[in-house]
Structure 1
Amino acid sequence: RAVPPAEGRGPALWVIRDADSTLYLFGTVHLLRPTTGWGTERIDAAFDSADTLVLEISNPDDQAAIIPLVQQHGLAPAERLTLKLTSGELTLLDNAARAMGLTAAQMDPFRPWFAALTLSVAPLQKAGYDPASGVELILKARAEAADKPVTGFETVDEQIRILAGFPEADQLAFLRSTLEDFENATVELDRLVEAWAAGDVEAIETIGVEPMRESSEELYQALLVRRNTNWADQIQTMLEGSGSAFIAVGAAHLAGDDSVQEILERRGVDVDVAP
């Protein structure tokens, strides 16, 4: 699929080099409107020069892998979600559910993390955001067309277990936060996408990273810090080998004091803005 051209310099891109390795780091947005412009010659040149594409997971479009994991970790009919909410929260849940063609009663078997994730995506899709226009799926299709191997830092199972493994109090806090922000979710993502498309990494930190840390330190540590640390480990292993790779992960992982780049820099690995 053709990507509309970005205005100006476009999204941020970094590069890590040693004697026999070149690794590009590119922040992504998982859902985009098809009209969002983010294509640039520098991104295309970096992608084309790479031997391998590295994503968070190698198969982000594999519903056959995701569905059984959601059934295993996301549903708990005996626990009854609606009994864990106040009457006010239940009203918010029902209103949000109805906006996506469901009811609170139909979400009763959902574990809190899965209810929160479902409700966080629904208003975005209604506003024209589409997973098929997300950066990962477009890059994956390009890589496959060019016979470029696609690998992942994590598996779908690992990603789902991170969310499913939160203590219930943290899952409920995630759900409450999602319900409170439901009406403004599209506005916030619009701001984030605008910052990302313009390469404004400080704004990405302000919009996408800081609010997560303020709402829950445990969420911040689990979703960003520990994963960024793991990915930095894998990048250093890649540098011990040779070759080139285009690494594309969510933009929030490449912003702030605990970003992948900052972790690498603290370990003595130079990360430069790509020319």
Structure 2
Amino acid sequence: MRRPIIVVFLSLLMLALPAAWGAERGALFKISGSGHTMYLFGTMHVGLPGFYPLEPRIVGAVEDASVLALEVDLLQDPARLRAVMQTHALLDPGKPGFQDRSPAFRQRVEQALKKAKIDPAAVARFKPWLVATTLTLAEYASEGYQAELAVDLKLAQMARASKVPVIELESISAQFAMFDRLGLEEQWKFLEESVDMMENGKQRAEMRQIVDAWASADKAGLDAVAAKVESDTSVSGKFMQKILLDERNGPLADKLAALLVKQDKSVAAIGVLHLIGKNSVPALLGARGLTVERVY
């Protein structure tokens, strides 16, 4: 469970699923403590028309919330993303790109890019992790996933329509900076693993597994995804578990616990992978003495 899961963290693109009016999707928890309550919703950073409308409990909770807390607010100034790209996503001048690797490796990457209708020259200065992510985003797009239907974006729009304040638990800069923690050779391995997964079809299968589990609020399916993440020993798999999940879950839990002290009827919405597995945010909140109830 590799690139598709990382894309659940990074992607803004989203396979047509059957529409269901107000169906349960993802995972929803009710957190209580300090005389206050919070709904904690597990999102996909991607979307489809059939995902909406979301079921009434989360819609009502957002519309009546004292505040909506997101990992990042996608409606804020897009110039932030351009600046972060310059700082964290592009190779330094003189650093070799994929076109400077072995002829066999270059050919495989270029074939994957062309199949995805991406001009290799357009991504020549991207760091290897971003080339890998770009390829995966293109595969999602080929299945019909739409940036403007990202779940986090929809929640932010709902909150603003109801004049609910929106706050960020993290920043785009901090999220992108995590990928700089990978050494350059690890990043090349990351890209190689991604191309392998695309060539053998495993990436598309894993993509469908996680989307299907989220779209039907399938607890067993989401637990199976979490088990795959925890057992993945690839470079990208270990990075996902140790850095993108375990290392972030503690600070996220701390911020949510602090928010619960200050605000009643708050709503927090973060990627669903943070809400499942052994060291999930709900488990950490429970360990902090808060009452955690899984709604679905």
1:134-192 deviations in Å (ceiling 9; x for gaps): 10111111111111111111011111111123222332232222212225334322221
Alpha carbons 2:68, 2:159 under 8 Å: kept:
yes
Aligned to 1:28: 43
1:187 matched to 2:205: yes
Taking a change above 3 Å as real, the CA distance of residues 269 and 169 of structure 1, as seen in their structure-2 partners, is farther
Alpha carbons 2:44, 2:150 under 8 Å: kept:
yes
1:176 matched to 2:192: yes
Matches within 5 A, 1:148-167: 148-167=164-183
The residue matched to 2:49 in structure 1 has which SS?
A: coil
The residue matched to 2:291 in structure 1 has which SS?
A: coil
Distance 1:195 1:6 in 2: 17
TM-score (norm 2): 0.83
Distance 1:242 1:65 in 2: 28
Please identify, of 202-211 and 107-116, the stretch whose mean Cα deviation from structure 2 is larger: 202-211
Alpha carbons 1:55, 1:151 under 8 Å: kept:
yes
* Alignment-mate amino acid for residue 176 of structure 2: I
Taking a change above 3 Å as real, the CA distance of residues 10 and 68 of structure 1, as seen in their structure-2 partners, is closer
Matches within 5 A, 1:75-224: 75-76=90-91, 77-82=93-98, 85-182=101-198, 184=201, 185-207=203-225, 210-211=228-229, 214=232, 215=234, 216-224=237-245
Taking a change above 3 Å as real, the CA distance of residues 195 and 228 of structure 1, as seen in their structure-2 partners, is same
Match 2:249 to one of 204, 225, 228: 228
Alpha carbons 1:24, 1:245 under 8 Å: kept:
yes
* Alignment-mate amino acid for residue 221 of structure 2: A
Aligned to 1:47: 62
TM-score (norm 1): 0.88
Alpha carbons 1:5, 1:39 under 8 Å: kept:
no
Taking a change above 3 Å as real, the CA distance of residues 26 and 84 of structure 1, as seen in their structure-2 partners, is farther
Taking a change above 3 Å as real, the CA distance of residues 211 and 87 of structure 1, as seen in their structure-2 partners, is farther
Taking a change above 3 Å as real, the CA distance of residues 84 and 213 of structure 1, as seen in their structure-2 partners, is farther
Aligned to 2:28: 13
* Alignment-mate amino acid for residue 273 of structure 1: R
Task: Kindly report the root-mean-square deviation, in angstroms, between the aligned alpha carbons of the 2 structures.
Answer: 2.4
The residue matched to 1:243 in structure 2 has which SS?
A: coil
Aligned to 2:5: none
1:34-68 deviations in Å (ceiling 9; x for gaps): 23356212222222231111111123664311012
* Alignment length (residue pairs): 272
Percentage of identical aligned residues:
27
The residue matched to 1:35 in structure 2 has which SS?
A: helix
* Alignment-mate amino acid for residue 45 of structure 1: G
Taking a change above 3 Å as real, the CA distance of residues 165 and 9 of structure 1, as seen in their structure-2 partners, is closer
Distance 1:87 1:182 in 2: 19
Distance 2:58 2:85 in 1: 34
Distance 2:50 2:187 in 1: 34
Aligned to 1:241: 262
Alpha carbons 1:10, 1:38 under 8 Å: kept:
no
Please identify, of 133-142 and 58-67, the stretch whose mean Cα deviation from structure 2 is larger: 58-67
Alpha carbons 2:229, 2:241 under 8 Å: kept:
no
* Alignment-mate amino acid for residue 184 of structure 2: E
Distance 1:212 1:123 in 2: 24
Please identify, of 205-214 and 91-100, the stretch whose mean Cα deviation from structure 2 is larger: 205-214
Taking a change above 3 Å as real, the CA distance of residues 87 and 117 of structure 1, as seen in their structure-2 partners, is same
Tell me, which stretches of 5 or more residues in structure 1 are unaligned?
Answer: none
